[in-house]
Structures are given as C-alpha cells and as structure tokens.
Structure 1
C-alpha cells in the first residue's frame, strides 16, 4: 500500500502553470497548512488542523478542512511534505504523508471532474527534510516563546515546505525558459 522508500516529486516538471499552491506538514497529531500568493512566489501560514484521519478511517474533519481550503484558494498544486532521513530514506512518518496525499489526490480528481478545480490541479509530495527544525529555529530566533511556538510550529513547517517548493519551482522554470537568441539588427558591411 505504501512505498517504504518514497521519493519526493520535483518542482517544475509538468508544471500546471501560475496559481496558488497549498503546503501541508502532516503530523500524527496536527497538520500545518500554508498557502502561496497567486504568483506562486511567497508562502504564508494559514492554520493548523487537528489530525483525525487514520490509516483505516474514512476521511475525517482534517481532510474535509483541507479540501475546503483547496477550493477557497483555487489551488493548482497541493504540496504534502514527505518526511525523509538525511540520507534520503523514507521515515515512519512518510506513511502518514503518503496516506494524506493519496486521499487528497482522490478528492482533487473528483473536484476537477465536477469543474470545481482547474484541470491541471494536482497533489505532489515535497521534500520536507529539516523543515520542522528550520521552523523551530526561526521561531526561537524571532523571540516566540516555546509555549506559543507549539501552536504555530506546524504552520511554520508548512511554510518551509511550500517555500522550498516555490523556490525550486522558480529555479526550474528559469532553466526551462528559452534563452534569448542573438539580437537581430542592421548588419553593416
């Protein structure tokens, strides 16, 4: 059912074009959510949702809320953070991320068929190595107390996941764009 050594998707490949992206940090207790601007350049925190959907459950309130946000923001891509070890191997938490991604993909496909979401909308797995560590360090350095940080860390991790995706996507899109040719002008003898 699950790939035990999953690889993240790569930004910019078969890119669905301009539009908002939603970043998701899946935890066993909470799910952090971030969204990009319509130009897909900057990620900002949205909210933290209590995780209720398990491996054998039907879609719970967490999936329903994420679907509401996908519709509200008319998202082109949903980036679910894929936890991996520093060596690039799948972690135990990777199964949770794959579960949420699979369920969201099924729902996104239905919404596309109903014409509620753009045809190119999709769910991708993004590399989330060290996202929580980076988010925690950023919050500490900005003076956020440990108590306040707990309620915001999942959103901050989602921002890290999404911003990393957006930055890699922008780089990939620059590499793919045609290079300008020689300037045409008047040729003098």
Structure 2
C-alpha cells in the first residue's frame, strides 16, 4: 500500500519554529528550526518509553515540553517509507507518536518522507569525523535534522512558488495603462 507524506507549505501555520522528529523503536531523535524556519539544528535524543498500545510515556511528555519551551508552531514526523514508497514496519510507530503529539499539543503534525534520512545522517557524521561508536549517540538527532531540513526547504520553495504565482495573477489582472 502506498503511503503518502504531507506536502510542505500546504496549510502552513506561518512564522515560527518547527520541530522535527525521527521515531525509532528505542530512541526518538529531535531537531528544531530557527524562528525563521530556515535551518534545522539537532536538539536531543529522547528515550522511547511509549508503547504502541498503552498510555503516553515520558517520551511524549518530553516532546510536549520541548514544543512549549521552543514555542513550536508545527511538528514534522518522519514517515519511514521504503524506496518503493510503501510503508516500512516502523510506520506504525511514527504514526502513533504523531497521533499522540497532535492530540496533546493541538498543533499541526505533518508526516514527512524520511527515506534515506538515516543514511544521509550517517554519511554526514562520518564525513565530519565522528566515529561510528560516538555517532550512535547522535544519529537519531542527525536523522531528525535531515527530516526537518528537507521539510523546511520544501516549505520555502512552496512559499516562494505561491508568492510568484500570486504576483503573476495580480499582474495579469491589472488593467493596462492607457496612452
């Protein structure tokens, strides 16, 4: 079954910080954007405590605390699809965390394509000289950065295109100057 991620820029909440989340079965990587929603930065790795069938755990509480502390306006959760665009086994975990955060925060929670985010994050860590052992502590954050940065770039492109289309339609509907 094809799983479709959300599209950046659609129903955009406007200015403010975004939170990126990479959901794993053991850890949740968290990244945050700057106030202008242009750059994603690693924030922390949260130990996963919420089970798929059960009450919210300390991980959800920590994410909600981060949302409040950073005055987040939108949450972006990685949607773990395979290269064919169908859901991987981890998709249920990501959707569950997204549902819980949406329910408790009342914020827009978007599902973003995260294919290859961990691979890209591993390559970036390796290229910056971080050992594999040291990288295990921050790989989830790095993956969250990749997910969020991709979303921010897509959002920026969508907003620029929307502005350009709006300007074009304004110019096309403006009356011609009479001579």
User: 16, 20, 23: which is aligned to 1:19?
Assistant: 16
In structure 1, the residue matched to 2:156 is 170
- What's the secondary structure of 1:48's corresponding residue? strand
User: 44, 49, 72: which is aligned to 2:46?
Assistant: 49
Superposition pairs of residues 97-176 of structure 1, within 5 angstroms: 97-109=94-106, 121-176=107-162
The separation in 1 between residues aligned to 2:44 and 2:71, in whole angstroms, is 17
Divergent runs of 4+, >4 A? none
Cα shift at 1:188: 10
CA deviations over 1:87-109 (Å, ceiling 9, x no partner): 11011000000000000010012
In structure 1, the residue matched to 2:70 is 73
CA deviations over 1:139-178 (Å, ceiling 9, x no partner): 0011101111000000000000000000000000011112
- What's the secondary structure of 2:167's corresponding residue? coil
The separation in 2 between residues aligned to 1:160 and 1:80, in whole angstroms, is 11
User: 165, 179, 183: which is aligned to 2:167?
Assistant: 179
CA root-mean-square deviation: 1.6
In structure 1, the residue matched to 2:56 is 59
The separation in 1 between residues aligned to 2:40 and 2:120, in whole angstroms, is 15
In structure 1, the residue matched to 2:93 is 96
Cα shift at 1:49: 0.4
- What's the secondary structure of 2:138's corresponding residue? helix
The separation in 2 between residues aligned to 1:33 and 1:20, in whole angstroms, is 13
The separation in 1 between residues aligned to 2:27 and 2:9, in whole angstroms, is 28
Cα shift at 1:56: 1.1
The separation in 2 between residues aligned to 1:188 and 1:31, in whole angstroms, is 63
Q: In structure 1, list runs of 5 or more residues that go unmatched.
A: 110-120
Aligned length: 172
Cα shift at 1:6: 2.8
In structure 2, the residue matched to 1:113 is none
